[in-house]
Structure 1
Amino acid sequence: MLTLLFTALLALQPRSIHADQSLPSATFRASHNSYSGNLEGSKSTIQYQLDHGVRMIEFDIWDTNFSSNKDYSIGHTGPGNAVDHTSPNPSSNLLSDWLAVVNSWSAANPTHAPIQMLLDIKTDLTDNANYAAGNLAALNQVVTDAFGSRLLWASNAPAGLPSVDALRGKVLVVLSGDGASRSQYKSDTGSSPSVARNNRGQIVELHDDGGINLWYWSGKVQSDGSVKWLRHGKFDTGITPAVAINDDGWIVEVHRSQVSQTVFSRVGRFDDQTGEIIWGSSSKYDNGVSPSVAFVDGSLTLREIHQSQSNSQRWTWTGQLNTAAMTVTWTGNAKTSDPFYTKTESNGVTVYKDSSSKLVYSSGSFVGKRIAYEQVAFVEFQSGNSAELQDGAIFYAATASDKSFITNARNSGKLVRGWDFDNSTLATTPLANYPATNHPYDSWYETLVTANKAII
């Protein structure tokens, strides 16, 4: 009977239940650790939750065995922990399989109120060396593959969110959990940034992390001058990198060793389909510091200029790129009075650190824009988090017992989640937008959310 009632109400939306309203003023049924079903609380399957009006679903995600699974896993204290596999829940612990359940339900119920798909990151994704190891670019791919056109990208709502009715049929992914992962999703830090852009719009940024590691960002310059950063990863150890790219997508980088006054080179290839860089091996070619490099007239010939490790004398090499072997043969070493090649500007794009030490770029009308992953997901700010995570955040969260945080955030126009909302004494005025409970069908909860005109 209850299922039939909710089905009837859903069919009536959006016209006959409540007048359209802004998302931050709305209340929605929400479950905590939704995947745990009846193993922790009384939630039943994901489909049952959605059928009965739950509009915030939470999955805890782990990067364990990502390289072999090519996917994240769900679970409470670890992959598979407290995961209720009761049909029609998936039999696997793979995130993509569980997101597919939400997407299929959304497709079958296109007038539903927007679903918040909360991903609670349980492991630090910033130490994953690249996309193949499960960094945040991989998480973006999993999410976009799962929801396609039903997904509302955070980058498409930079100044706020449309009304509830305008978002019917949409899914909003929100990142919670590990603070370092959430922070790096929004921005990156580093030292000695360098950039290279070719005439096809392919772009590579390199930097060291202020320690011993070298990192890259790769992407494409868009028609409006902005850069779509597609991939990010660690590719070597060293400091003070410089980079060049030709119009065929061949990349040569040079850098100084982090432990000695020696310089190394490495060849890479830009994959135009994915934006990924395939790197060859690193090779020492000289002693020295402050290396710089450039292709000569778009060919496979390069010129490198660096400084002596002993004095201010600059030296140069001519390099010939062997694309089959992904190596450079360096010849013609000689002194030079020529200046270093510019590292921080290439073909109209400049990279640098802003006042908060974030890596940024300027290109055309875009000035000081942060180098970051595509903002597919919204990033949640939680009670006790840094000011960086609070900056620009729309979604706020705290344990349901932190009533002052929830009340203040609601009164500030934020979308607020209170988790472990498991008895009526935790209610605030105004109520959290998403009172995330382990008991969504208990009479006290139904009475409370009905009184607050929860939208389905």
Structure 2
Amino acid sequence: MYRATHNSYSGGPRRSLHDQLRAGVRCLELDVTHGSRRLAVSHGVTGHRVSRVGDNPVTNRLHDWLALIRRWVDDPVNAGHAPLVIVLDVKHGLASRGDRVSVSVLGLMCREIFADRIFSPLAADPAWPHVNEMRGKVLLVLSGDRKTRKRCLRDAGREPAVAANRTGGVIEVHRSHDGSALWYWAGTMLDGRPHWLWHDRYGRGITPAVALNDRGSVVAVSRAVGSDNIWYRLGRLGRDGRATWGRARLLARGRSPAVRFTSPGGRTVAVSYDAPGGGRRERRGGMKIADDRVDWRGAVASEDRRDHARAELPGGGELRIRSTNLLLQWSRDGGDWHRLIYAPLMFMEQQRGDDDWMTALGPHFAAAPAGRNAWARDRLAEGRIVRFWKFGRAHVSGAPVSFPATDTPHEAWYQAYAKTRGALA
């Protein structure tokens, strides 16, 4: 059992974050919204219920609150602390601003701040280590908005294509499952598997294809909706997995475009396509990065029908991509197929009312309002780590949840309850 707080940022009887940590709290909850073009801590509108008492940050910026926690973790006085759980309760405001992009930003922020302190879901598979092996670590748990959690558990799309380079970069593009929006996933190969770090929309079209060279240059092609116009767009893949894109430019008329670099580190691009008059044609040209364009030469006959559903990997091997029942999946060297989702960084939390398929994926954590004892006992029997929020004195005799998140962590009844339960610190 852990001492835990509900709305840890709200002060009042909770006091400051440092006060909570000094009192033995090892599960904190921060509500996350999208305010003023950045991720913020707030219960609703920017700044709502955010306390700046004591040594709490003077801003609403999520970065500042997470950085404060990192400083506490690094303080030698706290060396060997029980693994610290940070519940990131995503509010509806995040989803309404484009939850996919915001989750990418959230993941990047957490990786930068906590880095080697993070205990990832992969480390708990197939079994959890002893808690003493996790001391000094931080566990991030994504909670709250169901739409956001769903999209972190699976992604839907059509016509996927993938490319990789010899420096470990990887990028996937696809058309949305319900329209013509074009999206990409990007990241890096690590420990023999793709770690998808960034997900965003980059344009409109159908039948997308993509190429990536060793310099991190990206070329994406697609056919326009409702016409045979083929468009191309240059991009750049950053170290953080984020792609920056130039404007879309008209290339040719045709269908089923394919794209490649003529050499792994080169800047010459080749695009082949089915020409309107029949046959396969190809155009080549050198990238003019400063001008955000390719200096194309005339079209010539081509036999290239590149399979963009697979990409060669550095050191040998192959990465494959597919859409099965509209769900995007990847596979390495003909092995098992895996959901195309963010790299394992945050644990997912199950909540009452979640779809059956979400529950079937077996999230490690579960949460409900305090008092939902039958539901909690069922989750405990399944091996879940269960959190109750708004845990009060009246709930002491209820289900023995792992994280009884209270608003009053300093009161004698709570400390006595924690001591009786053998709470870790």
* Same-fold call, TM cutoff 0.5: yes
> Are residue 138 (structure 1) and residue 105 (structure 2) matched?
yes
> Are residue 332 (structure 1) and residue 298 (structure 2) matched?
yes
Residue 396 to residue 44, structure 1, CA distance change in 2 (3 Å): same
User: C-alpha offsets along residues 139-197 of structure 1, whole Å, 9 cap, x if unaligned?
Assistant: 12222333233321222222232223222222211110112222223332211011122
Match of 1:33? 7
Q: CA deviation at 1:365?
A: 7.0
CA contact (8 A) 1:126 1:180 kept: yes
Report the 3-state secondary structure (helix = DSSP H, G, I; strand = E; otherwise coil) of the residue aligned with 1:446.
Answer: helix
Residue 405 to residue 199, structure 1, CA distance change in 2 (3 Å): same
One-letter amino acid of the counterpart of residue 237, structure 1: R
One-letter amino acid of the counterpart of residue 316, structure 1: E
Residues in 1 aligned to 2:288 and 2:110: alpha-carbon distance in whole angstroms: 38
Q: CA deviation at 1:337?
A: 6.5
Residue 250 to residue 453, structure 1, CA distance change in 2 (3 Å): closer
Residue 128 to residue 340, structure 1, CA distance change in 2 (3 Å): farther
Match of 1:254? 221
Q: CA deviation at 1:354?
A: 5.4
1:385-400 equivalence runs, <5 A: 385-390=354-359, 391-400=361-370
> Are residue 293 (structure 1) and residue 264 (structure 2) matched?
no
CA contact (8 A) 2:371 2:398 kept: no
> Are residue 231 (structure 1) and residue 201 (structure 2) matched?
no
TM score, norm. by length of structure 1? 0.84
Residues in 1 aligned to 2:272 and 2:17: alpha-carbon distance in whole angstroms: 60
One-letter amino acid of the counterpart of residue 92, structure 1: T
Q: CA deviation at 1:127?
A: 6.6
Residues in 2 aligned to 1:46 and 1:128: alpha-carbon distance in whole angstroms: 28
- Paired residue for 1:244, among 205, 208, 211? 211
Gaps of 5+ in 2: none
CA contact (8 A) 2:160 2:323 kept: no
Match of 2:82? 113
One-letter amino acid of the counterpart of residue 305, structure 1: S
Residues in 2 aligned to 1:114 and 1:297: alpha-carbon distance in whole angstroms: 47
One-letter amino acid of the counterpart of residue 119, structure 1: L
User: C-alpha offsets along residues 224-276 of structure 1, whole Å, 9 cap, x if unaligned?
Assistant: 432222322211111110112233332221101124332101111233x3333
- Paired residue for 2:310, among 303, 322, 345? 345
> Are residue 406 (structure 1) and residue 380 (structure 2) matched?
no
User: C-alpha offsets along residues 327-346 of structure 1, whole Å, 9 cap, x if unaligned?
Assistant: 12333235x46252221112
Q: CA deviation at 1:426?
A: 6.3
One-letter amino acid of the counterpart of residue 213, structure 1: A
> Are residue 149 (structure 1) and residue 116 (structure 2) matched?
yes
The percent of aligned pairs where both chains have the same amino acid is 31
1:11-50 equivalence runs, <5 A: 27-38=1-12, 42-50=13-21
Residue 197 to residue 146, structure 1, CA distance change in 2 (3 Å): closer
Residue 151 to residue 294, structure 1, CA distance change in 2 (3 Å): closer
One-letter amino acid of the counterpart of residue 33, structure 1: N
TM score, norm. by length of structure 2? 0.89
Report the 3-state secondary structure (helix = DSSP H, G, I; strand = E; otherwise coil) of the residue aligned with 2:391.
Answer: coil
> Are residue 79 (structure 1) and residue 46 (structure 2) matched?
yes
CA RMSD of aligned residues (A): 2.5
Match of 1:421? 391
Match of 2:407? 438
Match of 2:235? 268
> Which runs of structure 1 show a deviation greater than 6 angstroms over 4 or more consecutive aligned residues?
none
> Are residue 369 (structure 1) and residue 338 (structure 2) matched?
yes
Residue 130 to residue 246, structure 1, CA distance change in 2 (3 Å): farther
Match of 2:246? 280
Residues in 2 aligned to 1:209 and 1:282: alpha-carbon distance in whole angstroms: 18
Q: CA deviation at 1:114?
A: 1.9
Aligned residues: 416
User: C-alpha offsets along residues 79-130 of structure 1, whole Å, 9 cap, x if unaligned?
Assistant: 2111111111111111122223322333331232222111101146567669
Q: CA deviation at 1:72?
A: 1.6
Report the 3-state secondary structure (helix = DSSP H, G, I; strand = E; otherwise coil) of the residue aligned with 1:417.
Answer: strand
Match of 1:17? none
User: C-alpha offsets along residues 18-46 of structure 1, whole Å, 9 cap, x if unaligned?
Assistant: xxxxxxxxx121111011110xxx21111
One-letter amino acid of the counterpart of residue 216, structure 2: G
One-letter amino acid of the counterpart of residue 220, structure 1: T
Residues in 2 aligned to 1:338 and 1:136: alpha-carbon distance in whole angstroms: 41
CA contact (8 A) 1:56 1:434 kept: yes
Residue 258 to residue 111, structure 1, CA distance change in 2 (3 Å): same
Residues in 2 aligned to 1:146 and 1:384: alpha-carbon distance in whole angstroms: 33
CA contact (8 A) 2:206 2:225 kept: yes
Residues in 2 aligned to 1:455 and 1:304: alpha-carbon distance in whole angstroms: 60
1:66-215 equivalence runs, <5 A: 66=37, 71-107=38-74, 108-123=77-92, 125=94, 135-210=102-177, 211-215=179-183
One-letter amino acid of the counterpart of residue 80, structure 1: G
Residue 125 to residue 214, structure 1, CA distance change in 2 (3 Å): farther
Match of 1:220? 188
Q: CA deviation at 1:394?
A: 0.8
One-letter amino acid of the counterpart of residue 384, structure 1: G
Q: CA deviation at 1:209?
A: 0.9
Moved more, 325-334 or 77-86: 325-334
Residue 202 to residue 144, structure 1, CA distance change in 2 (3 Å): closer
Q: CA deviation at 1:51?
A: 1.1
CA contact (8 A) 1:124 1:181 kept: no
